[in-house]
């Protein structure tokens, strides 16, 4: 398992760290490998890495509840391992040829494998994650304004380190923050098996994780026991017109989903030194923390999924 020493050593050349990697996990639905999820799930379950998981798996904590990611829906696999719970009904209604299995987010399995090497009282400062680009989405962020906001954080949350996503490293965003005097790190490439463990090692050094948009980092940091702050300065997204992400051209959020997002913005809109009970409860709900199972149970579940393909 990746150590803190290795995670920090990897930061000596983040441009190299963010180059294409090839997972040892073999997947029919390749995005199961994103952020090392398939790898860490198999490690936890003691399941062969060369054996694919015969199901699709979300690679983030989705807040939309009226559409399904097209790539996940169109896969010819017998099942979908689903979270958050408010998306289950839509999956069952839409993907009638698939078994929809409520499932705990991989972050909870990662945390079972992860061994933190930094004690809570040793944590210092803030790790800021700019909302990241993708192959189909360009991010626009008022960088000068976000720097000003970060500088104005309470003294207990200084110094600030910037964690740049691999695609934005490839676009040179890290160079901007370095030119402003910030220490810049990265968790590595999307297909790096150690991505989530490197991310956990990086975040474990800080008192606060901050982010400029509603993303999975909010849920992962709270699950890992690190307070989270959603900055006032939000990123805007420009989606490529050639990118068809969802199976229907309808609003992606219901009224209840919009209300949930507004509640999350209010809940995480201030930098706090401690995680609140409400924050923990909503994160546990959205990541289906109660569905975490022991290694042998997950191993058996993966074997059953394989059997389903042979029926």
Q: pLDDT digits over 24-78, tens only?
A: 999 999 999 999 999 999 999 999 999 999 999 998 999 888 888 888 988 999 9
**What is the reported pLDDT for 248?**
62
Split at pLDDT 50, 70, 90, the class of 243 is very low
Question: Of 66, 71, 72, which Cα lies nearest the Cα of 90?
Answer: 66
**CA–CA separation, 263 vs 22, rounded Å?**
38
Instruction: State both tokens at 248.
Output: 């229907």
DSSP state of 133: P
**CA–CA separation, 121 vs 141, rounded Å?**
33
Report the chain's mean pLDDT, rounded to a whole number.
91
**Residue 262 pLDDT more than 60?**
yes
- Say how far residue 91 (Cα) sits from the centre of its chain: 21
**What is the reported pLDDT for 131?**
82
**CA–CA separation, 49 vs 27, rounded Å?**
9
Question: Of 127, 280, 266, which Cα lies nearest the Cα of 209?
Answer: 127
160-163 and 183-185: which strand pairing? parallel
**What is the reported pLDDT for 100?**
97
**Residue 252 pLDDT more than 80?**
no
Split at pLDDT 50, 70, 90, the class of 133 is low
**CA–CA separation, 192 vs 222, rounded Å?**
23
Residue keyed to tokens 């490839």? 170
- Which helix (H) or strand (E) segment is 252 a member of? none
Instruction: Give the rounded percent of residues in the chain with a pLDDT score beyond 70.
Output: 91
What mean pLDDT comes out for the span 243-251?
Answer: 60
Number of other CB atoms surrounding residue 104 within 10 Å: 19
Q: Which residues, including other chains, have CB under 8 Å from residue 256's CB and lie 6 or more apart?
A: 65, 86
Of 60-69, 125-134, 183-192, 228-237, which one has max mean pLDDT? Answer: 183-192
The pTM assigned to this predicted structure is: 0.93
Question: Of 120, 131, 130, 111, which Cα lies nearest the Cα of 273?
Answer: 120
């Amino acid at each position: 398992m990746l150590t803190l020493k290795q995670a920090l050593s990897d930061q000596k050349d983040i441009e190299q760290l963010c180059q294409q990697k090839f997972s040892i996990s073999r997947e029919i639905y390749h995005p199961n490998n994103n952020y090392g999820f398939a790898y860490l799930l198999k490690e936890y379950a003691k399941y062969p890495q060369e054996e694919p998981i015969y199901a699709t798996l979300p690679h983030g904590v989705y807040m939309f509840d009226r559409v399904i990611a097209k790539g996940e829906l169109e896969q010819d696999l017998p099942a979908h391992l689903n979270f958050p719970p408010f998306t289950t009904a839509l999956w069952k209604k839409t993907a009638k040829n698939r078994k929809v299995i409520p499932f705990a987010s991989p972050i909870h399995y990662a945390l079972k494998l992860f061994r933190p090497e930094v004690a809570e009282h040793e944590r210092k400062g803030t790790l800021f994650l700019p909302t990241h680009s993708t192959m189909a989405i360009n991010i626009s962020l008022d960088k000068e304004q976000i720097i000003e906001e970060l500088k104005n954080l309470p003294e207990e949350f200084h110094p600030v380190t910037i964690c740049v996503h691999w695609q934005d490293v490839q676009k040179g965003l890290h160079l901007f923050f370095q030119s402003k005097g910030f220490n810049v790190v990265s968790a590595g490439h999307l297909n790096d098996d150690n991505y989530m463990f490197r991310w956990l090692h990086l975040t474990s050094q800080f008192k606060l994780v901050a982010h400029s948009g509603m993303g999975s980092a909010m849920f992962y940091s709270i699950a890992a026991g690190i307070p989270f702050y959603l900055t006032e300065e939000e990123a805007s997204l420009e989606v490529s017109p050639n990118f068809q992400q969802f199976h229907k051209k309808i609003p992606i959020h219901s009224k209840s989903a919009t209300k949930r997002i507004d509640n999350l913005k209010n809940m995480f809109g201030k930098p706090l030194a401690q995680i609140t009970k409400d924050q923990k409860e909503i994160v546990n709900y959205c990541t289906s923390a109660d569905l975490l199972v022991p290694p042998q149970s997950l191993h058996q579940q993966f074997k059953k999924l394989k059997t389903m393909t042979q029926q």
